[in-house]
Structure 1
Amino acid sequence: MIQRTLPQPRAACRAPARVRRAVRTVLALAAMAALLGIDLPESPGAVLGVTSRAAPDATADRVGALFAGTLDGGHFCTAAVVRSDDRDVIATAAHCLEDPDTTVFAPGYRDGRAPYGLWRLTGVYVAPGWTDGQDPDQDIAFATVAPADGAAGTPLEDLVGGFPVAADQPEHPTVTIVGYPRAEEAPVRCANTTGLLSETQRRIECPDLTGGTSGSPWLVDGALAGVLGGYEGGGTVPEVSYSAVPGDQAMALYREAAQDG
């Protein structure tokens, strides 16, 4: 294991023609996006502040559960695939990587199955502020991965895609969280507006984000803008969660993992 740190549902009815045209337009855009491999923003029709089972879609496939060794070990945190030169980087909370040698990642995990296999960690990128003092402002980390069975094959990002990492963010973004509560065998999703607890910590109100959702990506317009963690380890009650605001140190860690990992 290489660990690296850097300095510091209405009854059915026939829609009016204009609505049908709009639907056809949206479907055409979605099909084009799939062909071109680009990201579309999160659905604007999502009800804010409601947590529900996440549909098996391209977004959920990029998010996975972290396990202790095998699927039989139970999942304890969440991580997400982000874009990188070698197409092999995930993002999670730093406090989820205490045992990197035995941690494996299962992207798209659902109902006991890992459709894209298990991936072991080959490198961990954690800020010294976390390593030395568990600074909640540094509770974000990146790791490189490879197939757990040691076989050479398609890079992970080529299988599921990867989220871009947002270097700049609006002051009060609407965030979508996808993560794995420890007692659930499929991911949940919640979107809501957010506010700042402080200059370095962002706050969101979403119910039922219980243990196991640490490390879940905070997505703004399809880009990763944080992970569940930070203040109080991400929150001590399931209705309110936190994320450290990625600063220069987090972006330097990401660049190190994405370009040199």
Structure 2
Amino acid sequence: MIHRSFPHPRPARRTPARARRTSRSLLALTAMAALVSVDLPDTAAGQPLGVTARAASGASADRVGALFAGGLDGGHFCTAAVVRSDDRDVIATAAHCLGSPDSTVFAPGYRDGSAPYGTWRITGVHVARGWTAGEDPDDDIAFATVVPADGVPAGAGRVEDLVGGFPVAAGQPDDATVTVIGYPRDEETPLRCTDTTDLFSDTQRRIGCPDLSGGTSGSPWLVDGALAGVLGGHEGGGTVPEISYSAVLGDRAVELYREAAEAG
């Protein structure tokens, strides 16, 4: 694993193999046990499977935000989400969304042109060597640290202090039920869809949800309120808005998460 940025942004998407992943567990990192076990917001209640709708404001949606080029006037092109860390400053997204981290800002809870929690600039990017060396779709996940930029409420502290953060979960079963929350480029509010997933390959998970078009790359894939992947991977997340992909969250991603959480 390495800690660096990479040279060029890829257009943000957006866009049956069998494996024996039958166990599901929250990360058992001794130093991070408190980050993965409590206060899980309900991300799936009340919405039919396979239906995409606008995500209402609330604990889950406010932890998700849009990534902008430079500022709110630059247009949003990807999605990211706050995850738990000791320093309360880590977000998760797709690696292909962070080709230009110095000019990228994160706006959690962005809605209708407003950033209620301000914008946050990226200070560090953690991506796997497989991504920087050859853009391996199995490594299309990144964790980044952020600090306040513009419009952050006075005395806010860190981003997780404002909106909370999702715990991170690895080892999900093949047929996990996943909730995706993300921002298409042509939408000013986030969309949300819940459906049962399956494995496209041993290393790629897929979900059938309509209307998850360009801009939803990096959207969190949530299982029981914990982040179990991000929209990306195969075909940059998918070439049609009806089928989306995520790299299976494995040991390399867990190590990236650990690095980012310790680097804050």
Corresponding residue of 1:46 = 47
Unaligned regions of 5+ residues in structure 1, if any? 6-36
Question: What SS is found at the alignment partner of 1:79?
Answer: strand
TM-score (norm 2): 0.83
Q: Does 1:169 align with 2:178?
A: no
CA apart distance, 1:110: 0.2
CA shift in 2, pair 1:204/1:259, >3 Å: same
Question: What SS is found at the alignment partner of 2:68?
Answer: strand
Q: Could you tell which deviates more after superposition, 143-152 or 112-121?
A: 143-152
Larger radius of gyration: 1
- Which residue identity is paired with 1:80? A
Corresponding residue of 2:103 = 102
Q: Which has the higher contact order (CA 8 A, sep 6+)?
A: 2
Q: Distance in 1 between matches of 2:4 and 2:89?
A: 16
* Root-mean-square deviation (Å): 1.7
Corresponding residue of 1:204 = 207
CA apart distance, 1:246: 1.1
CA apart distance, 1:154: 1.3
Q: Distance in 2 between matches of 1:139 and 1:179?
A: 16
TM-score (norm 1): 0.84
Q: Distance in 2 between matches of 1:207 and 1:150?
A: 33
**Count of equivalent residues:** 229
Corresponding residue of 1:55 = 56
Corresponding residue of 1:228 = 231
CA apart distance, 1:150: 10
Q: Does 1:253 align with 2:256?
A: yes
- Which residue identity is paired with 2:122? L
Identity of aligned residues (%): 73
Corresponding residue of 2:246 = 243
Say if 2:93 and 2:219, in contact at 8 Å, map to a contact too: yes
Q: Distance in 2 between matches of 1:150 and 1:58?
A: 20
Q: Distance in 2 between matches of 1:153 and 1:224?
A: 24
Runs of 4+ in 1 over 4 A off after TM superposition: 149-153
CA shift in 2, pair 1:40/1:98, >3 Å: closer
Residues 98-128 of structure 1: CA distance to partner in whole angstroms, max 9, x if unpaired?
Answer: 0000000000000000000000000000111
Question: What SS is found at the alignment partner of 2:197?
Answer: strand
Q: Distance in 2 between matches of 1:203 and 1:167?
A: 16
Residues 14-65 of structure 1: CA distance to partner in whole angstroms, max 9, x if unpaired?
Answer: xxxxxxxxxxxxxxxxxxxxxxx82243344320101011101110000000
- Which residue identity is paired with 1:215? G
Once the two structures are superposed, the pairs formed by residues 148-159 of structure 1 within 5 Å of their partners are 148-149=149-150, 153-159=156-162
CA apart distance, 1:167: 2.2
Q: Does 1:70 align with 2:109?
A: no
Between Structure 1 and Structure 2, the one with more helix by share is: 1
Q: Distance in 1 between matches of 2:256 and 2:143?
A: 7
- Which residue identity is paired with 1:51? T
Q: Distance in 2 between matches of 1:47 and 1:111?
A: 25
Corresponding residue of 1:192 = 195
Q: Distance in 2 between matches of 1:50 and 1:167?
A: 25
- Which residue identity is paired with 2:42? P
- Which residue identity is paired with 1:90? I
CA shift in 2, pair 1:43/1:228, >3 Å: closer
CA shift in 2, pair 1:40/1:116, >3 Å: closer
